[in-house]
Structure 1
Amino acid sequence: MRADRLVAVLLLLQQREQVTASEVARELEVSERTARRDLEALSGAGVPVYAMPGRGGGWRLLGGARTDLSGLTAGEARALFLVAGPASTATPSVKAALRKLRRALPEPFREQAEAAATSIVVDPRQWGSSQPESPSPRFLDELQEAVIRGVQLRLGYVDLKGSQTQRTVHPLGIVAKRPAWYLVANTEAGRRTFRIDRVSSVELTGDAVDRPEGFDLAEIWREIADEVDRRRTPLEAQALCAAGGLGLLRRVFGRRLDVGGSTPDGRIEIVIRGRDEHTLAGELAWLTDWLDVTGPQAVRDHLAAIGAALVARYS
């Protein structure tokens, strides 16, 4: 749910004793289905919004039209910001809406509400091949609570080799990246990332988190994801790209593409990362209208072999 729509829905509920999904849809210029989903999302997140069924029914804010945003509890305020989504990746209009909502909250709730807005980053790109969605991990709620409250954790964790460890960590944020969830935290050994489905136990210590000044979860996660991508795709192929093909390459390779300068003939120097010579050659083979791969030679050899096999089969 967009934060600007969230604020608009709440203001409508404040101004009127009762609204219907169709009225919300007209006011916000969205479909009735979207309006109903937004109202249900607010209610499901713990905001005091409830439906009145039957003829003449609709949606109401608990306490009636006189209830305002300053009447929210701490948990409800945090729920609002969680529904609104991560402020660090929001558009300027959504950030403005979040600021308005923050100013409307009572002072004791503002810090935790802002922490809720920045506690989660959603990264829609998958690592590796497509995998089915997995259920939310067991300790997700407890970890998010620790991030929002800013308290340290005693964390039980099972690593890739199956070894069980116990450690105290400073939780900084949670990332949803299909199909897994990750906890970003500071430890005695520096910043670490933990897969939440490998967490075996969680205990909130009550001690305050040492949060780095200016910490931006979205920016930190980009750095972490880039480093992981580079480890997964260590091979670099150099190529010259026709200017008209650069947009296509950006869509196909994303962060695996690095763009350099232009050559005298108007082409663009690029570097594309891949897992190995054979796999990368297969990814590049259909791009011959736009690319001239200049190295390494092993990738060029694989491309030549692919071309020869195609000619032999289809000529």
Structure 2
Amino acid sequence: MRADRLIAALLLLQARGRVTASELAEELEISVDTARRDLEALSAAGIPVYPQPGRGGGWSLVGGARTDLTGLTAAESQALFLLLGPAGSAEPELTSALRKLIRALPATFRSDAEAAVRAVVSDSAGWGEPDRELPALVQSLQNAVVRRLKVRLAYTGKGERPTERLVDPLGLVDKDGIWYLVAGTEAGRRTFRVDRIASAEVTDLPAERPDDFDLSVEWARVVAEMEQRRSLVSATVLIDARFLPVLRSHFGRHCEVVAQDDGRVRARVAAHTARSIAEQLAGWGATVEVVEPEPVRAELARIGLELTERYAKRPDVS
């Protein structure tokens, strides 16, 4: 997780005084780009971490090498713990690490640092739902990722029978309560929904992990690919400007404003099929006018005819 990397990066800077992004990447077994982003995040948060260009340069913790956190100012310590707090509230191990770091601060800074940690809480449960616990399968897969061991999966796709696959686990992603495993396979890099994994056996075989693999970069690529698949069909619509926020809430990133004229907005919405767009717009009635394409207009007409046939008043026959 990024929070424990940031802690590790800061402690490494305290121990050495200066490191390069390459050195940090090697120490933490991450890509150079990820190491650079972590160092930039610490600096942007107000921690006294600064780059020094040129030969013999790198990233330095102002004040030289330290073995504790007593060199941080009050504002810097608050910035650090605000940066780490949300993750710490969700992970018991990080909570313990944060407590140890707080104890290393000067006594006059501790109360503000503790307040910063408590300023943000991560609550994954919806209203009326029980707290979400980390699935046992996720814990097993996490262990395989850390130990770099191949995993034998029994995986079930949509409407398919389980198939066995031997994969190299690269990382896990929690997207709105749904877990995904990013793994290397004989057919290339693939993403598996954990709730479709019938079983997972961690083997003793060493897994292959590219030296330049960055989970955040790979997940961004997966998301972009999935969003592209979900937006194969687009439609141009006209809507009163005051309803635009509601339209955006329906289509999310697949709603783009094209033009505004005299209180009306011309927008482009997208989905994976013309029928899907029509189904999402049907409840708007005449509030939204679909300008094009014709397949979406035809789907709306078909939905309207179905509703009319079912719900139109019929004359009483006595």
Normalising by structure 2, what TM-score?
0.49
